[in-house]
């Protein structure tokens, strides 16, 4: 039959080990360093380089407000992040880590391929439906049947349908 020990006894035995306080302090310092590394924000990087938002905005050829927005944004395009880092004099590396190896992904190639895709002729690139709808709203090129009727007769299709169904003798 296994015997159990009270937590107070276990803690007392652990705390009585030689060098425990030094090990705790070392582990706490290593944890704090890791947390600081992972919690570093773009604003922290900019400040560490001794740059203001205005200076970085000039280097990026954008407004200071845009730099502020990028620093607060949770989700960025890789090209935006790369530009930001390069404007501070750095280079952005993307590393995919696996159990057996780490692979450096060439960001310049990814961004170049993405740029080629966005500048491809429209015939080869399918246009998203939302973009087509926005464009038709702006130009007025595509109108629904009810809008077309209202424009030509001054009456709405809905009103005409409602009047017809409410009129006696029609059915």
**Could you tell me the pTM of the whole model?**
0.46
Using the 3D structure, point to which of 91, 116, 138 is the last residue of a domain: 91
Same domain, 87 and 134: no
Asked if the structure places residue 101 within a domain, the reply is no
**Residue scoring higher pLDDT (133 or 24):** 24
Convert the pLDDT of each residue in 89-129 to its tens digit. 998 889 999 999 999 988 877 777 777 776 655 545 555 55
- Kindly report the average pLDDT of the chain as a whole number: 75
Concatenate the DSSP letters of all residues of 68-122 into one string: HHHHH-SS--HHHHHHHHHHTT----EEEE-SS-EEEE-HHHHHHHHHHHHTS-T
Q: Is residue 141's pLDDT more than 60?
A: no
Convert the pLDDT of each residue in 84-93 to its tens digit. 999 999 988 8
Above pLDDT 70, what percent of the chain? 66
Which of 4-8, 65-69, 71-75 is least confident? 71-75
- C-beta separation of 92 from 79 below 8 A: no
pLDDT of 116: 74
- C-beta separation of 64 from 53 below 8 A: yes
Domains: count for the chain:
2
Same domain, 82 and 140: no
What is the extent of the structural domain holding 56?
22-91
Asked if the structure places residue 150 within a domain, the reply is yes
């Amino acid at each position: 039959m296994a015997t159990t020990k009270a937590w107070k006894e276990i803690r007392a035995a652990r705390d009585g080990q030689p060098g425990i306080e030094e090990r705790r302090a070392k582990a706490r310092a290593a944890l704090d360093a890791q947390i600081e590394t992972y919690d570093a924000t773009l604003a922290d990087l900019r400040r560490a380089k001794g740059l203001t938002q205005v200076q970085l905005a000039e280097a990026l050829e954008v407004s200071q407000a845009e730099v502020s927005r990028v620093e607060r944004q949770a989700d960025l395009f890789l090209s935006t992040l790369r530009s930001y880092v390069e404007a501070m004099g750095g280079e952005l590396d993307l590393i995919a880590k696996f159990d057996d190896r780490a692979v450096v992904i060439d960001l310049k190639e990814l961004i170049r391929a993405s740029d080629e895709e966005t500048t491809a002729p429209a015939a080869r690139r399918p246009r998203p439906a939302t973009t087509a709808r926005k464009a038709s709203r702006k130009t007025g090129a595509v109108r629904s049947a009810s809008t077309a009727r209202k424009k030509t007769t001054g009456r709405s299709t809905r009103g005409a349908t409602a009047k017809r169904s409410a009129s006696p003798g029609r059915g």
